[in-house]
Amino acid sequence: MRLNEYLRNTFGCKVYKISLNGGFTCPNRDGTIDTRGCIFCSAGGSGDFAESPTQSVTEQIEAGKARVAAKMKDGKYIAYFQAFTNTYGPVEKLRALYTEAIRHPDIVALSIATRPDCLPEEVLELLEELNRIKPVWVELGLQTIHPATADYIRRGYELEVYDRAVRNLRARHLEVITHVILGLPGETAADMVETVRYVVASGATGIKLQLLHVLRGTDLAKDYEAGKFEVLTEDAYMEILRQCLAVIPPQMVIHRLTGDGPKRILIAPLWSGDKKHVLNRVNRLLEERKEEE
Ligand code: SF4
């Protein structure tokens, strides 16, 4: 099921995600696991579109609303804690940030991006409690199930950690959205489809498929510029997407099928910068899939 359809069915109106920055860091950057971060992660901690962390949550929500005001008459919003690892901090800090967001009258749900190894019991309890007020979605950056790729990208946790996190979240009735990157160096189309199959079987309720973006300032960019790997062509990406879509059941919510890299720091693949064109092709794929169902 496509996200728009799911949002309309669930909330009965147009819903827009506002990217927030809670001023977090990440154990893969602060030295707890590593200091270098995941190999593809930009200086913004994969939250390059998020609002400024110097503003309060309410100010960020209002700034996000103002940005889309022209397109959003009578719509509602999802507070998306996107930058860095959004459950990595003292539970009192998390409670204060999430509660401020969930109390905002125009916010219909929280979406929290994090790592599966940053979900201790007290955080799970907090998320469960908030989920009784408004829906809480947890977005997990898995990217791949293949150990060699996970090492290369410096993900910093084993696959069992992901499995455990999904089980714990689902046991508390929280929605789980798993992020997968398509086009990681060394992976074949079959490897990527295997990852998607795994995610479907894991119990996640939603999936985000993102094209690998090589962003300026990352270690991935150094490897790319040294000719160590090639990025996917547009046709190759569409074909891989088609194969991935074939293994995603209709009830699973598809949150994204494209990349999300900011153009100003995008090195490759440059074809992905033509968002309208890419979206048209992705939409065609989705239509074909619908006809096959
Ligand atoms: S876990 Fe997320 S924020 Fe941390 S380095 Fe990796 S992509 Fe960046």
Q: Provide the whole-model pTM.
A: 0.96
CB-based contacts of 136: which residues, under 8 Å, 6+ apart? 98, 109, 110, 111, 112, 127, 130, 174, 175
Q: pLDDT tens digits for 214-272?
A: 999 999 999 999 999 999 999 999 999 999 999 999 999 999 998 767 888 999 999 99
Amino acid at 8: R
- In three state form, how does the secondary structure of 255-281 look? EECCCCCCHHHEEECHHHHCHHHHHHH
Q: pLDDT tens digits for 145-157?
A: 999 999 999 999 9
- Domain 3-292, CATH number (from 3.40.720, 3.20.20, 1.25.40, 1.10.3470): 3.20.20
Could you tell me the two tokens for 140?
Answer: 């997990």
The set of protein residues with a Cβ atom below 6 angstroms from ligand 1 is: 26, 28-29, 37-38, 41, 45-46, 84-85, 115, 141
Could you tell me the two tokens for 188?
Answer: 């074949």
Could you tell me the two tokens for 91?
Answer: 């539970």
Nearest to residue 259, comparing CAs of 204, 189, 183, 165?
183
For residue 168, how far is its CA from the centre of ligand 1 (angstroms)? 21
For residue 38, how far is its CA from the centre of ligand 1 (angstroms)? 5
- Give, for 5, the enclosing helix (H) or strand (E): helix 3-11
CB-based contacts of 208: which residues, under 8 Å, 6+ apart? 139, 177, 178, 179, 180, 254, 255, 256
For residue 74, how far is its CA from the centre of ligand 1 (angstroms)? 34
- Give the C-alpha separation, 96 to 89, whole Å: 11
CA distances from 129 to 100, 111, 174 (A): 14, 14, 10
The pLDDT confidence band at residue 46, using thresholds 50, 70 and 90, is: low
Q: pLDDT tens digits for 197-208?
A: 999 999 999 999
Domain boundaries, the chain: 3-292
